[in-house]
Amino acid sequence: MASTLPLRALTLRQLQCFSVLVEEGQFGRAARRLSITQPALSNAIKQMEKLLGAELLTRSTHRLALTPVGAEVLARTDYLVNTFEVALRDIESTVQRGRAFVRIGVIPSASARVAAAVAAFVGGDAPHGVEFAWRDAPSNALLAEVRSGQLDLAVAAITEPPGGLVCIDLFRDPLVLVARRDHPLAAAGGADWEAIGGERLVLFESGSMPALGDPARAQFAQGSEPYRVGYSETLYALVRGGLALGLMPRLYTSSLRDDELVVLPLTRPGIERRIVLVYLPGPMRNVASQALIAHLREALVATAA
């Protein structure tokens, strides 16, 4: 126990100095942002290293680099700094407006379901006057922001269990095909991977699609290299023009209203991504976050049934 005592002398200001210095990458910019002098910033970092008994940064004329220990310390430092800033804003919101604040992350394809569930929460069990901040982003960004304390919870798509987070399975989201209505597969009502072996596909270049679609393509000797796009509008345009078949998670097609296109099941094998609710273990920041998590666990599983 005695060996941990020096760490008790670490201050929030020192942690803020370290976090901002790494983010800015240069003492001058970091000092200006922190409204302190460069010698004061340098001294804060030296004091932090002394208390930890380890070097956090290597310094040269032109650059700063994290040591391996520094990289590990930074992850915890960012979490502490972020949660402190968020807690201050929560206190301000509660004192000035008498309202709790919940920060929600969601992948765009699940936003309709999550928004409907939150609306039902507001109309039912939500604490009086609760406010929400919304963040839509790819899953990897959402998971990182939950870990750092910037988000209270997130609904994300995963292919591997996310380390360090509570992860609750909500439902599965299978890959489907989007085809022109006059395509032969549309008349068949669906397809398997062998049936599309000679077809040019179009799929999303990021998110869970590379991890889900590429192994199946390799297994079934998919011919042409697929088109890779960033937005569903582009994917639909290529399918509509007869240039490719669309391969995407079914959730994305929930708002598709196009008489020229049809959504088809893709089987043998059926490939799914996991849609999960994630949050940090341990005590939640406020009662409203706890209540919303309980509501989403029920509401989003029920809508998928």
Q: Per-residue pLDDT tens for 65-98?
A: 899 888 888 877 877 777 777 677 666 666 665 5
For residues 226 and 152, the answer to whether their CB atoms sit within 8 Å is no
% of the chain at pLDDT higher than 90: 39
The model's pTM: 0.69
For residues 288 and 274, the answer to whether their CB atoms sit within 8 Å is no
Q: What pLDDT shows up at residue 113?
A: 93
Helix (H, G, I), strand (E, B) or coil at 274: strand
Mean pLDDT for all residues in the chain: 85
As a whole number of angstroms, the distance between CA 292 and CA 304 comes to 18
Kindly give the residue spans of alpha helices, DSSP state H, lying in the chain.
12-24, 27-34, 38-52, 68-97, 111-122, 139-147, 184-188, 209-219, 232-240, 287-304
- On the CB side of 76, CA atoms within 13 Å amount to 6
Confidence of residue 61 (pLDDT cuts 50, 70, 90): low
What is the tens place of the pLDDT at every residue in 95-136?
A: 665 567 889 999 999 999 999 999 999 988 777 778 898 999
